[in-house]
Every structure is written in C-alpha cells, then in structure tokens.
Amino acid sequence: YPHASSVDDGRLTIGGCDAAELARAFGTPLYAVAEDDLRSRAREFRAAMGEGEVIFASKAFPCTAVLRVFEEEGLSVDVASGGELALARSAGFPGDRIILHGNAKSARELETAVDMGARIVVDNFDDIDKLDALGKPANVLIRVTPGVVADTHAAILTGHAGSKFGFSLAQAPEAIARLQAASWADLHGLHMHIGSQLFDLEPWRLAVEAIATLGDFPAYDLGGGLAVAYTPDRRPPSVTEFVGNMIASANELLGEGKRLSIEPGRALTATAGVTLYSVESVKDVDLPDGNVRFVAVDGGMSDNLRPMLYDAPYQADLVDRVGAVGTPCTVVGKHCESGDVLIRETSLHEPKVGDVLVTPVTGAYVYAMANNYNGVPRPPVVFCKDGDARLVVRRETFEDLHGRDV
Ligand code: LLP
C-alpha cells in the first residue's frame, strides 16, 4: 500500500481518505492515487541522483495530473509517441526536459519534438534519414542494445541481442559516425534500457560495460527498469541501492563527471496507486481436487491487463477487513473470457456481494493499458491527499463509447 495510507481496525485509508467512502463517492472500478507517494518517490530518486537527471517514463501512468506532479518535482519526461509528447506538453514540460523514444517514429513525431527542443533518442538508421531530411538542429542520443539478458518476462526484456530496440553493438559505430558528421545533429551521448521489472543489479553493470566500448561521450541515459514488489515474496533493490549501483558503474566504466540520466517509470508510480472494485458475485465451484471460490468484480482485463499479458501477480484485500484471516479465493473480472483472472489465489475474509475489494501496487502500466473490452468504460483517477479526494480523470461514459462514430 502507499506510504500515505493506513489500516485502522481493518479499514483502509489512502492519503487520509477512507477507501470504502472513495468507492461510494466515485463509484468502482476506481484508480486511487496517493499524491504524497508520487512526490516522495520523485524526491527519493532526485536525492539519489544528485546532479544527474531523473526522467519519468510517462508510459507507466500517462495522465496529466501525474505528469504535473513530476513536472513540479523537477523531473524530466520520456515520451514514446506523438500522443505522449502532446500530453507532456499540456502538462507543462519545457522542451529541454522531454526525451522522445520509439522504434517507429514518424517524420511528424520527430519534427514536433525537434521544434520543441526535445532530445531525440535515435533508434535506427531511418530515424537518422528522417532527421537528415528535416535538416533542423536536433539534440540526439543513440540507443544501443547492449546485448545483455536480464531476468524478467520476455515481453518486457529489451536489451538482449535481437531486441527490436536500438542499434546493436556492431551497428552503433556507423550510427555514431553518421551523427557526428551531420551538421544538424548535436550528439549528446548514448542511451540504453535493458528491460523492466528487474531485481538484479548485475545486468546494468554488464550493459554499461558493453556501451563503454563505443567511445567517450558527455552524456549517458541508462534507462529504467527497477522492479517493485507486487507481492511480499521478492524484495527489489531500494532506489538508493539501484541508483548508487548505476552511478558507481558509470563512474568506473564510463569515467567521472558524465551527465547521467535514468528513466524510471514503474518505480515512480506503482506503489502510489490502488484499484478499488465492487464484488458482484461469489461463486463456489466444486472440483475433484477441491473447491474454487470465484470472487467476481466489476472490472478486470479492461482496467488491468497485466495479469493476462505477463502473468503478473497481485494481491487483494477487502477494504473494511484488511488483515482479517481469510480463505483462498480466485479474483476474476467481468469480461467474457476465462483468461480474465486478476489474481489466481489470494486470501479474502468471507467475501460477499457489495464488498469493496482493493488491489494494491496498481499505479504503473494499469491505467496506461486500460481499454474498452466488452464496452466497459475506463475508470476515473482520484488523487488522495490529507483526507481530500480530487477527481483528476473522470470515468468514461457510455456516450464516450460511441463518441467517435461518424
Ligand atoms: N525507458 C524506456 C526506453 C522504456 O522503454 C521503458 C519501459 C522505461 C524507460 C521504463 O521502464 P520501467 O522503469 O517502468 O521498468 N507494460 C509493461 C512494461 C513495459 C515497459 C516498457 N518500457 C508492464 O506492465 O510490465
């Protein structure tokens, strides 16, 4: 749960707001965010980085209110499309604190970013051709695939040889030479991002070692990827350990005094957010090897795709009986397929229809990947702080579902 939350007599409070009351006031499903946690995480990263730059990977929670908080906290922002770029701009980020990524950038996306003075992370030779054709002065970094394999789900691994992202170590020298020769290009340095939800620090060190062979540059962006604890069984490194390791590797292998950036997404927002659902059905199914209790809620794969895409583990509680001894339950969504399982097994105390169920650690890549499967409107986002609940994104309506019809 967020640091700015508490459990009193089994009742959960987020940012001083009673969770059951939030569900009543705003309806469910609902994304509730402890604003203080966003700020404290941002400060933790900034303090650990010192002079270095902390770039929020906005894909983790691409919402104006979240971006504004990080803008105020002095972070920069990573955008991976024209849409994220527009969002960053409307949240007030100046161009020099925006970094454009992507392995399939359009000429239009590149031009918009260049015109804003954003940094471009060049991923491929086609990026260079498009920027060449544009011919406008551009700040660039080169994304390199360092060829390390980190231990995470294959879908979120990016730094291995054969990844679709960046230049291989073999191709990078040609990209560097082309950009050093281009009159329009101001080549700051190199970028790497080896993957996401990573627990071990060693792959970063190996990756830095790999990119160090490509020459000496003033700036290095070492990417994101720090894991968060979705369940208590595996503890990720702390921000201080993660950043300390990164800086130590950089100082040793790239040389002292470099302009260093890191790009966390998940680690900035995941624990700040929870999702609230209402229980709509409790069904016991008898099987030869035991009973299964399905607790069905009013959301599912439309508001959190992560369990279905990555087998991502979550836990749940009932918001007025947190910590009560329970029995094994399977939490499923309302969608028309059997794969719509939010949690294979969690322990809940006598769940019944009308209970409010909460899934913690849902502040990253959850809102971001929400969709309208089965015509389910996407949930609202509420910021909770010091007992005040502030709606920052409204719930979609049925009208929104056909609002783009022509
Ligand atoms: N930088 C780049 C270039 C990235 O591609 C990403 C994430 C990040 C930074 C931030 O990584 P983080 O610190 O959040 O691990 N949808 C997946 C995660 C995809 C991550 C994509 N890139 C999930 O729900 O786990």
Res 149: pLDDT = 82
- Alpha-helix residue ranges (DSSP H) falling in 299-372: 306-310
Contact call for residues 360 and 37 (beta carbons, < 8 A): no
CA of 57 to the centre of ligand 1 (A): 7
- 5-33+270-401 to CATH, choices 2.40.37.10, 3.40.50.620, 3.20.20.70, 3.90.1010.10: 2.40.37.10
263 carries a ligand binding annotation? yes
Bridge-partner residues for 57, per DSSP?
78
pTM: 0.97
Query: Beta strands 53-57 and 290-297: pairing type?
Result: unpaired
380 carries a ligand binding annotation? no
d(CA 201, CA 216): 23
Per-residue pLDDT of the chain in tens (406 residues, 90 and over written 9): 999 999 999 999 999 999 999 999 999 999 999 999 999 999 999 999 999 999 999 999 999 999 999 999 999 999 999 999 999 999 999 999 999 999 999 999 999 999 999 999 999 999 999 999 999 999 999 999 999 887 778 787 777 888 899 999 999 999 999 999 999 999 999 999 999 999 999 999 999 999 999 999 999 999 999 999 999 898 999 999 999 999 999 999 999 999 999 999 999 999 999 999 999 999 999 989 889 999 999 999 999 999 999 999 999 999 999 999 999 999 999 999 999 999 999 999 999 999 999 999 999 999 999 999 999 999 999 999 999 999 999 999 999 999 999 9
| Ligand 1, pocket residues at CB < 6 Å | 57, 59-60, 78, 101, 156, 193, 196-197, 223-226, 263-267, 306, 310, 365
What residues contact residue 130 under an 8 Å CB cut-off, 6+ apart? 105, 107, 110
For the chain, count helices (H), then strands (E): 12, 21
Architecture of domain 35-266 in CATH?
Alpha-Beta Barrel (3.20)
CA nearest ligand 1 atom 3, residue: 193
User: Which sequence spans correspond to the domains of the chain?
Assistant: 5-33+270-401, 35-266
Ligand 1 atom with least separation from CA of 121: 3
Distance, first Cα to last Cα, the chain = 43
**Strand, coil or helix: 15:** coil
Shared fold status for 5-33+270-401 and 35-266: no
Q: How many residues does the chain have?
A: 406
Ligand 1 atom with least separation from CA of 305: 24
Res 218: pLDDT = 98
200: its two tokens: 């071990």
